[in-house]
């Protein structure tokens, strides 16, 4: 049964963001990204060496429709760290080049490991 209720989609998004300290909303999967921007974002994230969660928005059209409004960010991929939107591909790559992404990802991963 398809639930097209917007509020449940938003609840779903909020829950995903709350439960996954490092979360990438992307097109496709890390192994098979289906857009160049998602592929680049995945590479940058993977090079940080910490596990991260992802949601394939192509499999979740409701999230694809709702997340840009919730995030106030129109495009994908979107990287969420610790419940905050970091940004899209350009920002991820820029942070990666300036060595700002790695410490952010590491600190977040460490923090949440110690909470488990």
Any binding-site annotation on 64?
yes
How would you label 40-61 residue by residue, b for 16+ Cβ within 10 Å and e otherwise? Answer: bbbebbeebebebebbbbbebe
Any binding-site annotation on 113?
no
Cα distance between residue 38 and residue 33, in whole Å:
6
Any binding-site annotation on 48?
no
| H-run or E-run covering 76 | none
Any binding-site annotation on 90?
yes
Any binding-site annotation on 76?
yes
Any binding-site annotation on 62?
no
Q: Which residues are annotated as a binding site for [2Fe-2S] cluster?
A: 35
Q: Which residues are annotated as a binding site for glutathione?
A: 27, 64, 76, 89-90
Q: Which residues are annotated as a binding site?
A: 27, 35, 64, 76, 89-90
């Amino acid at each position: 049964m398809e639930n097209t209720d917007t509020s449940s989609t938003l609840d779903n998004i909020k829950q995903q963001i709350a439960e996954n300290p490092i979360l990438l909303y992307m097109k496709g999967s890390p192994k098979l990204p289906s857009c160049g921007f998602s592929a680049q974002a995945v590479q940058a994230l993977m090079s940080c060496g910490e596990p991260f969660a992802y949601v394939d928005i192509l499999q979740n059209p409701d999230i694809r429709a709702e997340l840009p409004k919730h995030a106030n960010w129109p495009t994908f991929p979107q990287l969420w760290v610790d419940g905050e939107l970091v940004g899209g591909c350009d920002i991820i790559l820029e942070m990666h080049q300036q060595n700002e992404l790695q410490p952010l990802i590491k600190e977040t991963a460490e923090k949440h490991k110690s909470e488990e």
